[in-house]
A and B are shown apart, each in its own frame.
Chain A
Amino acid sequence: MTEEILRVENLNKFYGDRHILHDINFTLHQGEVLTLLGPSGSGKSTLIRCLNGLEDFSSGAVYFKGEKIKPTDKNWQEIRQKIGMVFQSYDLFPNLTVMENILLAPTKVQKRAKDQVAQEAEGLLKDVGLEKYADSYPRELSGGQKQRIAIVRALIMHPEVMLLDEVTASLDPEMVRGILQIMTKLSKKHHMTMIIVTHEMGFAEQIADQVLFLEDGRILENTPGKAFFAQPKTERARDFLESMDF
């Protein structure tokens, strides 16, 4: 068995008195890709945000590499350096160039040497085909380009797991494929451990080792990827796949 990276135990989350996440349990191992599927409003973003402490949860626990995370600000700040996150809304820092965006956290948060990180950044920019844009400002880039930079900005921290929340959902269709390819390459070539929220079912089927199907804040299915798409166990999941034209 490969090493365990993230484990969630009986996680519950309330907003006020609304119960948003119900008894969430799952485990993610080194190199695995988990796709988090479910209708809009089912709690996917909330769950993924609980995993790096952007949301606090009401009860339950998150374990990082077997160790229970004590939910203090300081602990989360440490953990977040090892958990990369990319959001739907490709927000780069608008006042910084592409290169400055990428270098900010490794140099200021991780205190790594700037010239070394810059060299690595150039390599990563080349990987995503944006080496010419190092000195551009975010406003000069398309949505797809910004999202690629956001992925690079997360990767340069050397995360042990990446959380990707609908990273293609706000992009023009012709931009989507490039981003999906980057995620596929991250998984297949670099064996990056990832949790991916997506509405791209073809992509999910092809990349998922494990599928969590969420509805109304409950995990209805926790199934190996192939099995989920071949034969969903619940009717809700079947309906969902059908509604996604799949």
Chain B
Amino acid sequence: MNWQVISHSLPIFAQAFKLTLWLSLVGILGSLIVGALSSLIQYFKVPILSQLFTAYVELARNTPLLIQLFFLYYAFPVIGLKMSATTCGIIGLIFLGGAYMAEGFTGGFSGVNQTQIDNGKALGMNNLQLARYVVFPQGFALSMPALAANVIFLIKETSIFSVIAIPELTNTALDLIGMYYRSNEYLFVLVVAYAIVLIPVILLLNLLERRVRYGTFGD
């Protein structure tokens, strides 16, 4: 292990690190929004839309991100839709992540007690009010473990962006290895970099999970 090689590569990795963080953040937030929306629409069986979103979830969950990215990056330009690699990456990540988050939310929403829903209905709430004041807050707390697992999954999934040449962590490491044949050093930095992202996130999510659960149900 040559420490000089490592220290020289750090500025490049720092850039890549920031990009991975940023892509993850946008991807996760987007996925949460798409997932929550999709799941609520399915929960309340909104006509047409709910079938549409069910199909979307199935499609997105059953195709690999790799294929989705190739499609966005190489096939869409053929029909005149050319997007930057980063845009493709983010759209792909949200497309995939939204479906996983939708499944996570759906699990949580279905765990909300029927008696809670009856109480909301008996107070005259319409579906939107039920969603906002009863199903979502309680279902969100119940879906936290699944959502947290998806957050970790999506962060790791950004490594696939390397195939469409987005200079995030994995792409950067592979590039450097290709140029300088120093796989030990660069892979070491790569692993450390992912650990620096993932370990705090895991700890934070754990804490958040317990906080939200306690804040909602008091146990």
Contact = CB atoms under 8 A, between A and B. Distances in A.
Interface of A: 52, 54, 73-74, 76-78, 80-81, 83-85, 87, 89, 91-95, 104-105, 108-110, 137-139, 150, 153-154, 157
B122 to A, nearest CB: 4
Q: Indicate the size class of the contact surface on chain B.
A: 20 to 34
A83 B121 CA distance: 11
Interface of B: 113, 115-116, 118-127, 129, 133-134, 137-138, 141, 215-219
Q: 3 tightest CB-CB pairs across the interface, nearest first? A: A139-B218, A81-B124, A105-B123
A213 B123 CA distance: 28
B137 A157 contact: no
A160 to B, nearest CB: 13
Contacts of A93: 116, 119-120, 133-134, 138
A191 to B, nearest CB: 22
Most A C-beta atoms less than 10 A away, residue of B122, B134, B215, B216: B122
B217 A94 contact: yes
Given A54-B118, A91-B116, A94-B217, A109 B138 contact: no
Given A74-B126, A87-B115, A94-B217, 4 more contacts: A84-B122, A93-B134, A105-B124, A108-B125
Contacts of B125: 77, 105, 108-109
A6 B96 CA distance: 52
Given A91-B113, A104-B133, A108-B129, A54 B121 contact: yes
B122 A54 contact: yes
A104 to B, nearest CB: 6
A85 B117 CA distance: 13
A149 to B, nearest CB: 12
